[in-house]
Amino acid sequence: MIKKEDKPEFIRQIMELFEDFLDEYGIKIPQKEGVDDYDPDTPANLCGKAYDDLAEHLQTFFRSWGVIKDERPQIEYFFTLSLNGFKCNGTISVKAEDPDEAYRKAQNLAETELYISFPSLDIPYDVEPVEEEGYPLYSIISELLPFSTEQKVVSTSDKADADALFEKACRDNSAVKLTVQTSSKASPAILKKWSL
């Protein structure tokens, strides 16, 4: 597995392999209008958004194969289970990087547990995410002074607002955390943090 500190260099070297390959065959990717440094007369093999998109796809690919460690935060999601079209009491809790992965994990968990409990029965089932008003809840937790125990918490259910509030809090405070809670039962997960 590639070490965390080596990941940027690892991805950069792979991107250079792609660029060299494209150069060797004279392949140029036209630049898109509206992108910084746009020049329609100077196509490049990989730059700007094309470079960033390919680098992100490579990171996703290498994470899925365990070549690089997945450092995205694990967020707790809750699901309700239905058997034969009837909702069961209780919930299923899974931790995942995003809602799609959480749904897959909840489906797999339900399937596995049903097979273990009733190996000879084929029971139709489904899982649905628990949705509550005001969730997901993003909280920006700020400390004004270094080593202070006094905190200021601002919450919103809008991700874009949360990101903007986080950036503003980083300018005005000594330490800031952005957390998310997907439902009232879910434990908060730290999405990002910053400190002086």
Predicted confidence (pLDDT) per residue in 78-95, tens digit: 999 999 999 999 899 999
Bridging pattern class, strands 125-129 and 75-83: antiparallel
Neighbours of 45 (CB within 10 A): 18
Bridging pattern class, strands 175-181 and 152-156: unpaired
Worst-scoring range by mean pLDDT, 8-12, 92-96, 150-154? 150-154
Give residue for tokens 């509206």: 34
DSSP state of 91: -
Reference 75, options 193, 191, 194; nearest CA is 191
Contacts of residue 175, defined as CB under 8 A and 6 or more positions apart, other chains included, come to 142, 143, 146, 193, 194, 195, 196
Neighbours of 67 (CB within 10 A): 14
pLDDT-derived band at 38, boundaries 50, 70, 90: low
- Mean per-residue pLDDT for 113-117? 93
Predicted confidence (pLDDT) per residue in 11-29, tens digit: 999 999 998 898 888 887 7
Specify the 3-state DSSP secondary structure of 38.
coil
